[in-house]
Amino acid sequence: MSLRDELDALPTGELHDRALAVAKRRVDVGFLWRLIEALPVAEAAVGDEQRSKVDVLRPLALINDLFDAGEGELGDALRPMYIDYLEEHGAGEAPRGATNPDTEG
């Protein structure tokens, strides 16, 4: 199974947590900024037009949304971004303290 397939099999919240952990470890402000820029588009894609409009006008709201971007439909809309990032940086490992229910026995 390829890394991409393994990542695609993970729950969205796990992808979000791993991508943010890798970005923090690498001090990858560029990825975090691209994620913030993607939030209004993802919110609009899942039908949250009002939130999308507010976020474009209020960057602090986007930063707050960044931490919730691994949940629900919004997280699902951002899955490809998390998978691409983790695949590019070869970082399929879980963040410290996280557990993967698929590997627990």
pLDDT digits (tens, 9 = 90+) for 24-46: 888 888 998 888 888 878 888 88
How crowded is residue 9: how many other Cβ atoms within 10 Å of its Cβ? 11
| Sequence-separated (6 or more) residues with CB below 8 Å from residue 22 | 28, 85, 86, 89, 91
Residue 95 is given by DSSP the state: P
Q: Is the pLDDT of residue 95 over 70?
A: no
Cβ atoms of residues 12 and 75 within 8 Å: yes
Distance, CA of 64 to CA of 41 (rounded, Å)? 16
For the stretch 32-88, pLDDT in tens is: 888 888 887 888 888 876 666 665 556 666 667 777 778 888 888 888 888 898 988
